[in-house]
Structure 1
């Protein structure tokens, strides 16, 4: 059992995985294990296979379920085999040497809980890259509320952590979000799809309905029972 599984869903960006691996190799200390999850209909699949073969990064190929669906499928399957489960976008780059040790130390201190670092974009407001103890995933049956497709998951993770008083933000642990919104990446079809007006409105509406409805309260009660 490795301490930390980091799930990286990706589509159409095998070059990002190569870049992420460089940053990962330069900064990772502990028994952290990256897993790249891609769609079986991705035209870039052969290049993902090549990059992952060269770097030794685990590649999981499955049906297209979008971000939340893919994350939940992989996290639920893998939670029993890891102490903690993390999400990192293919456009995140760990910058702080020993970032994984810092995250695991914070999770160990919480016992059960959620930890995130500084993405140099949203900071404390949103957990755009996140780690949580595996019992959270196993208890809820998912890592992110399935009502949302792509956006607002980072808000939910902060909400969960605050609701059970088991949340740690590590401002000096940098996992940079290389996002087009701040000129750190080129926009592409994936960004355009996830941030389209229609998807943005749908995910924000779903988040509000979840956050202020019975499903959130039910999830929080399940998490409180772990403490």
Structure 2
């Protein structure tokens, strides 16, 4: 694992690189709003992707690097994310990039997929709406992505359940918003999907 700091307009972001022996793509993963990169599902997917021949970049947003728990506004998160993606693209000699993350990080990945030229998006516990407020849906962020999307969602997630679409598939697993009840299923879903979406690019 290699840790690097990347300057953004909102302060430095920290990136933890977990490189595969012979990686043919890069998976960028972001954390949740108040959580960190040690979330069990992020750790599990990092391990699985690396084993499947995909480099993984775990991205810590500038507000977290600065020690704040309250998330930055969406436009700041998205701008910082795209700055990191541009820097990493140069480091990895323009390998195809998959954007991803858990919860808030999944939303960032969806919103920036087009601008960042991601070939696919991996969402862990996409927060479809705030708990108890289904009218405040975030489904349009998911629907706007025009590359393949996988959403791994807990059956009992209080943040709701997104609906599938032409470009995105939903895999339901046992558990809540943490996805920690059945990490094996999370890992299996991510590995199978990554292999499928990246195979045509190899």
- In the superposition, the TM-score normalised over structure 1's length comes to 0.35
- In the superposition, the TM-score normalised over structure 2's length comes to 0.38
Greater relative contact order, per chain length (Cα 8 Å cut-off, separation 6+): 1
Greater helix fraction, Structure 1 or Structure 2: 1
